């Protein structure tokens, strides 16, 4: 059976046709996914669109020249450039070339199983002080549910000094957890560059890890993969705010 092309686009790489489309998954917190399927359905890829997306999922029976079982396998995002927030045909082509002709893709170890649920990171922004690719952000914390993150966002924007007084906005980022979580702590790796104003730009971040040692290992991998000048490993207490006060401009 062929592949339905309704609402999808096609691209030809190495004389083989692929179908690709970008779609929001309403059952997955509105996560946006890029999907790529070869005409023979042997290569099937999914990529979660967004600046925090650092993995590609292989769902087919062929990957980098080798036959696979068809079981979903997670691989680290393979490119040096920051993950795109807008999908272009060129990015689709690069992803196909990597999945077909690439070598030594780094698989996310199954020793770090995906946690059954998700966590939700809340970041607030002072929009009036943001410019170009820099955003004046406040790392509020990581929460056990979307509703807790949303309630905290509403509280800060409506009642906390600074956030309520200026044009501020918020973003809730859905985060997967790697490892078997046995405590209320998780760890996340961040990398960034600094511009001429010493502001943080080109920020990338990892998934959440249940153990600090796992995050430290992830930092080593990310340092090899991404060209960033600054790195940090952050510890979070779930449902505890890291930014506990308001702010004033000076």
| 144 vs 177: CA distance, rounded Å | 11
| 52 vs 204: CA distance, rounded Å | 6
Give yes or no: residues 40 and 119 share one domain: no
Percentage of the residues of the chain whose pLDDT score is greater than 90: 51
Domain boundary among 72, 101, 130: 101
| 25 vs 23: CA distance, rounded Å | 6
Domain boundary among 76, 101, 126: 101
Domain boundary among 101, 130, 158: 101
**To the nearest whole number, what is the mean pLDDT of the chain?**
87
Residue 249 lies in a domain: no
| 78 vs 143: CA distance, rounded Å | 29
Whether the CB-CB separation of 235 and 215 falls below 8 Å is answered with no
| 136 vs 122: CA distance, rounded Å | 14
Q: How confident is the model at residue 193 (pLDDT cuts 50, 70, 90)?
A: very high
Q: Which two tokens stand for residue 43?
A: 């290569």
**Mean pLDDT over residues 39-56, rounded?**
83
Q: Strand, coil or helix: what is 77?
A: coil
| Helical (H) or strand (E) element with 157 | helix 146-159
**Mean pLDDT over residues 225-242, rounded?**
93
Give yes or no: residues 129 and 224 share one domain: yes
Q: Are strands 44-48 and 31-38 parallel, antiparallel or unpaired?
A: antiparallel
Give yes or no: residues 94 and 135 share one domain: no
Q: Would you state the pLDDT for residue 241?
A: 95
- Can you give the three-state secondary structure of 79-128, one letter per residue? CCCCCCCCCCHHHHHHHHHHHHHCCCCCECCCCCCEEEEEEEEEEEEEEE
| 102 vs 97: CA distance, rounded Å | 7
Residue 6 has pLDDT above 90, yes or no: no
Give yes or no: residues 129 and 220 share one domain: yes
Whether the CB-CB separation of 242 and 156 falls below 8 Å is answered with no
74 or 234: which leads in pLDDT: 234
Q: Would you state the pLDDT for residue 135?
A: 87
What are the pLDDT digits (tens) for 67-122? 988 888 888 888 877 778 789 999 999 999 999 999 888 887 654 444 445 889 99
Residue 109 lies in a domain: no
Query: Around Cβ 220, how many Cβ atoms within 10 Å?
Result: 11
Give yes or no: residues 87 and 139 share one domain: no
Give yes or no: residues 148 and 196 share one domain: yes
Q: Strand, coil or helix: what is 164?
A: coil
Whether the CB-CB separation of 130 and 136 falls below 8 Å is answered with yes
What are the pLDDT digits (tens) for 120-171? 999 999 999 888 878 899 999 999 888 999 999 999 999 999 999 999 999 9
Q: How confident is the model at residue 1 (pLDDT cuts 50, 70, 90)?
A: very low
Residue 245 lies in a domain: no
Whether the CB-CB separation of 123 and 139 falls below 8 Å is answered with yes
**Mean pLDDT over residues 203-224, rounded?**
88
Whether the CB-CB separation of 142 and 119 falls below 8 Å is answered with yes
**Mean pLDDT over residues 230-241, rounded?**
96
Give yes or no: residues 97 and 137 share one domain: no
Q: How confident is the model at residue 38 (pLDDT cuts 50, 70, 90)?
A: very high
Give yes or no: residues 145 and 224 share one domain: yes
> pTM of the full predicted structure?
0.59
Q: Are strands 55-58 and 73-76 parallel, antiparallel or unpaired?
A: antiparallel
Contacts of 12 (CB under 8 A, 6+ apart): 18
Residue 120 lies in a domain: yes
**Mean pLDDT over residues 52-65, rounded?**
86
Residue 127 lies in a domain: yes
Count of structural domains within the chain? 2
Residue 246 lies in a domain: no
Give yes or no: residues 61 and 158 share one domain: no
**Mean pLDDT over residues 229-246, rounded?**
94
Give yes or no: residues 224 and 144 share one domain: yes
């Amino acid at each position: 059976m062929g592949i339905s092309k309704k609402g999808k686009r096609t691209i030809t790489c190495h004389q083989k046709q692929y179908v690709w489309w970008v779609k929001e998954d309403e059952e997955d917190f509105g996560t946006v996914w890029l999907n790529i399927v070869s005409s023979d359905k042997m290569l099937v890829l999914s990529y979660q669109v967004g600046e925090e997306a650092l993995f590609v999922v292989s769902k087919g029976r062929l990957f980098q020249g080798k036959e696979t079982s068809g079981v979903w396998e997670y691989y680290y995002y393979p490119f040096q450039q920051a993950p795109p927030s807008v999908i272009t045909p060129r990015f689709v082509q690069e992803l196909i070339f990597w999945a077909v002709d690439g070598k030594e893709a780094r698989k996310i170890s199954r020793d770090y199983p995906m946690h059954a649920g998700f966590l939700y990171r809340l970041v607030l922004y002072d929009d009036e002080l943001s410019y170009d690719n820099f955003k004046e952000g406040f790392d509020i914390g990581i929460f056990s549910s979307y509703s807790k993150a949303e309630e905290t966002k509403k509280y800060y924007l409506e009642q906390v000094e600074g956030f309520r007084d200026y044009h501020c906005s918020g973003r809730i980022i859905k985060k997967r957890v790697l490892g078997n979580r046995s405590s209320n702590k998780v760890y996340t790796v961040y990398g960034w560059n600094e511009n001429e104003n010493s502001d943080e730009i080109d920020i990338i971040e990892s998934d959440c890890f249940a153990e600090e040692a796992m995050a430290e290992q992830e930092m080593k991998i990310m340092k090899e993969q991404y060209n960033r000048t600054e790195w940090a490993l952050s510890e979070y207490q779930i449902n505890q705010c890291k930014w506990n006060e308001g702010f004033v401009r000076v």
